[in-house]
Amino acid sequence: MLTTLIFLPLAGALGIALLPRGREGAVRWAGLGVSLLVLLAAARVFQAFDASSGAMQMVEQAPWVPAFGISYRVGVDGISLLLVGLTAVIFPIALLSSWAAIADRVKAFTMAILGLETAVLGTFLSLDLILFYVFWEAVLIPMAFLIALWGGPNRRYAAIKFFLYTMAASVLMLIAIIATHVLGAVLLWERTFDIERLATMVLPVRTQGWLFAAFALAFAVKVPIWPLHTWLPDAHTEAPTAGSVILAAILLKMGTYGFVRFGPTLFPDALVASAPLLAALAIVGILYGAAVSWAQTDLKRLIAFSSVSHLGFVMLGIAAMNEQGFQGALIQMVNHGVSTGALFLIVGVLYERTHSREIADYGGVAARMPRFAAIFTIVLLSSAALPGTNGFVGEFLILLGAFRTSTWWAALAVGGVILSAVYLLWAYQQVMHGPLVAKHPERLLELTRREVLVFVPLIALIFAIGVYPKPLLDRSEAAVQAALERLNRTAATTLPARAVVRVQR
């Protein structure tokens, strides 16, 4: 089932390649149809998932390069399940949102998006390090094309920066993967890249530290953790709306997912030891991202920096190393995908109408587009973590988890909660309130039916997760407990006393 899920979009993309030239409507519908099928498949997985087990489920395996112990091995647990669900939801929305915005090379665009979906799903579901690495790097290719071909005026600079920055950071991970494999061959007498097998070996803390550093660098750039974030504003600003949405909603999660997936399994001691550092960087990111957001004049850059701030929360939850923190981090990944994805869609709506991203070019839009204003308000409040919306559930759990690990972490991070209200409402006021400011007010037309349809699922998710997050939390609970168990065990036994951070459930 998982293999079908992963390769369905790719198969769809190949199918679309066969469609005759010039049939753009057909291409669009086909792309949407394929992504909806993927959603259906993901829903099946979500339904068939056994929430009571923290182990990998629905594992599928086939030898790939047996000589080196490389295999095709995929499986899902509570951690990846949420992200798979998020991916499956976001892609149809991204395709639907570019219905009118993308007019040239529609076929290539649709294929790039679908190819991206396969790569992303593969990244989240791989259980083999090499397979993971292949998918991880494969993500870059369609994304770089999306930015470079359909992006804004400065797109080539942004695309190259994005590609080189993330690629350079991942190369070290490849070396660490090979090193892990070699260590596995020595310690386990087995040539394997299987994560679960490799997780059974006990490495010295120093070795773990070096390997984890290489992995963490790749993940940190992707998250992005301050100060490795500068590719993000450029990439976001120049990418087309659908690209920004996918970048923010899903690609950034690959980084945080990497921490949650590989930290507790392969390098538990190193993760525990580096928690204070991660937390410190996360808190700097939260406050820094928020403060810098406030100073932006470009709407997309503002949202990009708000992502730095929000993902700081996710990292803080991971660094808290307790159940509230981890659960909060997981659900916050989903939340950020939904809310920030929606925010980029909102900027896209404005950009489609006036071709400007400058905050100063707008004002009083709410009076012309009341329905749009209502949607914007809801998304904004969700991003500012208002109780009753999804953002609150995540931030509350993360802050609670952080508080129980260190009072100071939470006390500092809470500043981010205040600042998020400051910059989001400031931006909203500049764009939507006040007297009407626009070069072409007649272009500020109310949302079309299709555009409303784009937002409806996201708004529904915002409230559903905000009011009743239990289905998600239940599904990830067992996996989180299993991960924490590993961390606890190592913290209790192998670490020197000074490196032990308080790890608690």
Burial environment of residue 213 by CB neighbours within 10 A (0 to 12, 13 to 18, 19 or more): middle
Q: Which of 19, 26, 167, 367 binds another protein (CB under 8 A)?
A: 367
Does 471 participate in binding another protein (rule CB under 8 A)?
no
Which residue stretch of 64-72, 78-86, 349-357, 412-420 sits at the interface with another protein (rule: CB under 8 A)?
Answer: 412-420
- Is the distance from CB of 466 to CB of 393 less than 8 angstroms? yes
Which residue stretch of 36-44, 110-118, 263-271, 468-476 sits at the interface with another protein (rule: CB under 8 A)?
Answer: 468-476
Helical spans, DSSP H, in 189-298: 195-198, 205-222, 231-238, 241-246, 252-266, 268-294
In whole angstroms, the minimum distance from the beta carbon of 495 to another protein comes to 22
In whole angstroms, the minimum distance from the beta carbon of 22 to another protein comes to 36
In Å, what is the CA distance from 425 to each residue of 50, 363, 459, 472?
41, 13, 19, 29
Which residue stretch of 85-93, 120-128, 235-243, 364-372 sits at the interface with another protein (rule: CB under 8 A)?
Answer: 364-372
- Is the distance from CB of 416 to CB of 309 less than 8 angstroms? yes
CB-wise, 2 or 311, nearer to another protein? 311
Q: Which of 172, 364, 406, 464 binds another protein (CB under 8 A)?
A: 364
Q: Which of 23, 197, 486, 505 binds another protein (CB under 8 A)?
A: 505
Does 426 participate in binding another protein (rule CB under 8 A)?
yes
Local structure of residue 446 (DSSP, 8 states): P
| CA 153 from centre of chain | 25
Residues from 179 through 238 that contact another protein (CB under 8 A): 227, 229-231
Local structure of residue 360 (DSSP, 8 states): G
Residues from 281 through 300 that contact another protein (CB under 8 A): 288, 291-296
- Is the distance from CB of 322 to CB of 272 less than 8 angstroms? no
Q: How far apart are alpha carbons 117 and 253 in whole angstroms?
A: 14
Which residue stretch of 32-40, 74-82, 93-101, 400-408 sits at the interface with another protein (rule: CB under 8 A)?
Answer: 400-408
Does 109 participate in binding another protein (rule CB under 8 A)?
no
Residues from 41 through 70 that contact another protein (CB under 8 A): none
Q: How far apart are alpha carbons 314 and 334 in whole angstroms?
A: 10
In whole angstroms, the minimum distance from the beta carbon of 395 to another protein comes to 9
Q: Which of 403, 444, 451, 488 binds another protein (CB under 8 A)?
A: 403
Greatest C-alpha distance within the chain:
72
What residues have CB less than 8 Å from 213, skipping those under 6 apart? 270
Does 414 participate in binding another protein (rule CB under 8 A)?
yes
- Token representation of residue 355: 């071709």
In whole angstroms, the minimum distance from the beta carbon of 55 to another protein comes to 20
Instruction: Give the residues across from 57 on adjacent strands.
Output: 76
Q: Count interface residues toward another protein (CB under 8 A).
A: 62
Does 397 participate in binding another protein (rule CB under 8 A)?
yes
Does 410 participate in binding another protein (rule CB under 8 A)?
yes
Q: How far apart are alpha carbons 406 and 275 in whole angstroms?
A: 11
Q: Which of 87, 208, 244, 327 binds another protein (CB under 8 A)?
A: 327
Q: How far apart are alpha carbons 109 and 107 in whole angstroms?
A: 5
Residues from 372 through 391 that contact another protein (CB under 8 A): 374, 377, 381, 386-388
In whole angstroms, the minimum distance from the beta carbon of 298 to another protein comes to 11
Residues from 432 through 451 that contact another protein (CB under 8 A): 432-436
Q: How far apart are alpha carbons 462 and 335 in whole angstroms?
A: 8
| CA 2 from centre of chain | 20
Q: How far apart are alpha carbons 319 and 270 in whole angstroms?
A: 12
Does 404 participate in binding another protein (rule CB under 8 A)?
yes
Torsions phi, psi for 200 (to 5 deg): -80, -15
**486 SS3 class:** helix
- Token representation of residue 217: 């660098």
CB-wise, 22 or 387, nearer to another protein? 387
Does 468 participate in binding another protein (rule CB under 8 A)?
yes
Residues that bind another protein (CB under 8 A): 161, 164-165, 227, 229-231, 288, 291-296, 305, 322-324, 327-328, 364, 366-367, 370, 374, 377, 381, 386-388, 392-393, 396-397, 399-400, 403-404, 410-411, 414-415, 417-418, 421-423, 425-426, 429, 432-436, 467-470, 473, 477, 505
